[in-house]
Amino acid sequence: MSKPVQILFTPFRIGNLTLKNRIVMAPMTRSFSRGSVPGDDVTAYYRRRAEGGVGLILSEGVHPNTTTADGTPNVPDIVTPAAKEGWRKVASEVKAAGGAMGLQLWHEGPYRNPAKSAHPDIPSWSASGLKVPDKGPLWAPMTEAEIETAIEEFVAAAVATKEAGFACAEFHGAHSYLIDSFFWDKTNRRTDKWGGDWTGRTRMAAEIIRRTRTKVGPDFPLIIRISQWKQQDFDAKCAETPQEFEQWLAPLADAGIDAFHCSQRRFWEPAFDGSDLNAAGWAKKLTGKPTISVGSVGLSGEFTATYGGEVSKPASLDRLVEMMERGDFDLIAVGRALLQDPQWAEKVRTGRTDELKEFSKDALGVLY
Ligand SMILES: Cc1cc2nc3c(=O)[nH]c(=O)nc-3n(C[C@H](O)[C@H](O)[C@H](O)COP(=O)(O)O)c2cc1C
């Protein structure tokens, strides 16, 4: 017998935004926005998740500029008038279907491959020009003027997100991209005020949050996604101890973030020795802010193995329910299960678990 799942379907508030349940669609890059403009197929894809009862939809990563942020064809931006117009339609359709949605703002930083981008002559941006720490810099460290530009571009993208009619915005500060290249001491070797200790390494993100807050006001929730793990090293611990984790999160909380989205590949894995709390559990305990967890919900295998061809089978939600009933974290993001099946939340709510589907990489090529 599976545990009852009511906890997943109780409302939750982030500031003045009331979510009808605890299920969040995880941000997933789909590369279906031709010319970086989300079209009718992308609009319908998000609308289907709202109709399927998802509490909060987070968009795929959306670029805050069309140059240094962009290394992946057909990933949308929120800069050009056409892209803004496309997103306005998405926001309005999701709202009409009773959903809440935010854009995830994503600067690819050192994971942008200039050769594959529309601007191969423009170097990629990151704290110290490092992609793989041990292999030496690929580019020059960002200048202070470039850091200033990057901050202002994130702020403008968050303002544009609000103007397009979305309920919130998420800054992508995880997975080794631009913001994360500042957080991690192995890729941030700077000796100026943007590097060094946690105060220095969180300064860029804190500036983005603080300046955005003054522009969007108190009632537009701002979320930041962070991860201990890095693309270069799945076992990396950006913060080695809860004390360090607090030093990472506190400046972001002080700057005005409303919620932390702690990315891990398996939600049940403890973040530190001596406690079974996961990263979102610790973030909630240390900051008192709402937190979102994620990672292999409802599926047997984790997402990076999916790319290698592993097929994940539907899996029990018992452990998730247990952790949420205990109050470890507030919201749970679901990636592949919702990519595959827009009705996933509704099937879980109504106990139709025999209708849940397995996930294979074939799903990546389709906007179900
Ligand atoms: C196709 C695909 C695209 C993804 N793109 C993003 C992204 O744009 N931004 C992000 O923060 N995470 C991205 N992720 C990671 C997911 O948000 C999520 O953390 C991960 O899939 C684990 O959740 P799951 O096991 O429920 O799929 C992506 C994952 C997949 C499968």
Binned at pLDDT 50, 70 and 90, residue 45 comes out as: very high
For a substitution probing ligand 1, which of 8, 25, 29, 262 has the most ligand atoms within 8 Å of its CB?
29
CATH no. of 6-365: 3.20.20.70
The full 3-state SS of 172-214, as one line of letters, equals EECCCCHHHHHHCCCCCCCCCCCCCCHHHHCHHHHHHHHHHHH
pLDDT at 307: 87
Q: What is the pLDDT of residue 126?
A: 98
Q: What is the pLDDT of residue 1?
A: 72
Average pLDDT of span 36-49: 98
Burial bucket for residue 259 (CB in 10 Å: 0-12, 13-18, 19+): buried
Mean pLDDT of 110-139: 96
What pLDDT does 53 receive?
Answer: 98
Indicate which atom in ligand 1 lies nearest the CA of residue 296.
Answer: 25
Confidence of residue 12 (pLDDT cuts 50, 70, 90): very high
pLDDT range class, residue 157, cuts 50, 70, 90: very high
> For 301-327, what is each residue's pLDDT tens digit?
999 998 889 999 999 999 999 999 999
By the 8 A CB rule, do 34 and 74 touch?
Answer: yes
∠ Cα 99 279 5 (to 5°): 50
Q: Report which residue type is found at 306.
A: T
Check pocket membership of 170 for ligand 1, CB cut-off 6 A.
Answer: no
To the nearest 10 degrees (0 to 180), the angle between helices 40-51 and 81-96 is 30
- The alpha carbon of residue 328 and the mean position of all alpha carbons in its chain are separated, in whole angstroms, by 19
User: Counting atoms of ligand 1 from 1, which one is nearest the CA of 307?
Assistant: 31
Residue located nearest, by CA, to atom 18 of ligand 1: 335
d(CA 27, ligand 1 centre) in Å: 6
| Mean pLDDT of the chain, nearest integer | 97
Please determine, for residue 2, whether its predicted confidence score (pLDDT) is greater than 90.
no
pLDDT tens digits for range 332-362: 999 999 999 999 999 999 999 999 999 999 9
Q: What are the tens digits of pLDDT across the range 258-299? A: 999 999 999 999 999 999 999 999 999 999 999 999 999 999
Q: What are phi and psi of 53, to 5 degrees?
A: 90, 15
The active-site residue, picked from 45, 111, 177, 307, is: 177
pLDDT tens for 174-219 read 999 999 999 999 999 999 999 999 999 999 999 999 999 999 999 9
pLDDT in tens, 212-267: 999 999 999 999 999 999 999 999 999 999 999 999 999 999 999 999 999 999 99
